[in-house]
């Protein structure tokens, strides 16, 4: 079973409260299935592992309620999270690192947020890389939007220009792996 670190769930809930208020969060809670609601309303521990299926169900309801179903808003949300992190304590790390270094580092960080999802990075020459995620299942497809946001913002902060990202093997395909293609100038 693929799992996600509780800190990701907590950060998402806190971001909703800060951006849209308690009423919006309660509206989301009102549309969740019983299992997801129980976890999201309960005490979420940052270092505890939770089922990724639960988190993706939460994100899907959030997008329906707060973004009229526009899934690309998940990308913007993850960009905001990574920007906050990388403009703070990790600022020097990103500014000093080459895009290749940043890609490898973000992939390594993702491995600490996902359990059951091995990640491989293949730098394919100047300005090109592929990141392969094994373990995601079809129902985790919304995570692709978040992953794109993390890489895009981190690369932009590091100084990469003309960043282009797309899943050449999408998560929703449900294959042995999902593959993110990254290019920059």
DSSP one-letter string for 116-152: S--EEEEE-STTEEEEEEES--GGGTTHHHHHHHHHH
CATH of the domain at 141: 3.90.1520.10
What separation in angstroms does the CA of 178 have from each of 2, 20, 143?
A: 14, 32, 11
Q: Report which of 11, 56, 157 is spatially closest to residue 64, judged by C-alpha positions.
A: 56
What separation in angstroms does the CA of 105 have from each of 22, 99, 149?
A: 34, 10, 15
pLDDT for 179 beyond 70 = yes
Token pair listed for 137: 């299942």
15 and 28 Cβ atoms separated by less than 8 Å: no
Distance CA(18)–CA(92), nearest Å, equals 27
Is 151 found in the same domain as 79? yes
Model pLDDT for residues 129-153, shown as the tens digit of each residue: 999 999 999 999 999 999 999 999 9
Average pLDDT of span 102-128? 92
137 and 174 Cβ atoms separated by less than 8 Å: yes
Token pair listed for 10: 């907590």
Predicted TM-score (pTM) of the model is 0.89
Our CA angle for 166, 85, 1, nearest 5°, is 60
- From 28, 51, 66, the end of a domain falls on 66
Average pLDDT of span 148-176? 93
- From 36, 66, 96, the end of a domain falls on 66
Domain extent for 160? 72-183
Average pLDDT of span 118-125? 95
Is 77 found in the same domain as 60? no
More confident residue, 27 or 19: 27
- From 45, 66, 87, the end of a domain falls on 66
Model pLDDT for residues 80-113, shown as the tens digit of each residue: 877 777 766 566 666 667 899 889 988 888 888 9
Distance CA(124)–CA(182), nearest Å, equals 10
DSSP 45: P
Is 134 found in the same domain as 52? no
Is 81 found in the same domain as 56? no
């Amino acid at each position: 079973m693929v799992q996600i670190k509780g800190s990701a769930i907590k950060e998402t809930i806190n971001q909703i409260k800060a951006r849209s208020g308690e009423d919006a969060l309660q509206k989301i809670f009102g549309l969740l299935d019983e299992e997801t609601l129980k976890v999201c309303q309960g005490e979420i521990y940052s270092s505890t592992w939770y089922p990724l299926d639960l988190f993706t169900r939460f994100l899907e309801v959030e997008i329906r309620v707060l973004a009229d179903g526009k899934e690309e808003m998940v990308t913007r949300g993850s960009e905001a999270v990574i920007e906050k992190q990388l403009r703070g304590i990790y600022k020097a790390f990103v500014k000093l690192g080459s895009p290749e270094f940043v890609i490898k580092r973000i992939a390594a960080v993702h491995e600490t947020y996902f359990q059951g999802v091995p990640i491989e990075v293949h730098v394919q020459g100047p300005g090109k890389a592929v990141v392969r995620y094994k373990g995601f299942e079809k129902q985790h497809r919304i995570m692709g939007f978040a992953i794109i946001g993390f890489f895009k913002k981190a690369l932009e902060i590091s100084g990469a220009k003309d960043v282009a990202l797309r899943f050449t093997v999408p998560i929703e395909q449900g294959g042995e792996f999902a593959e993110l293609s990254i290019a920059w100038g």
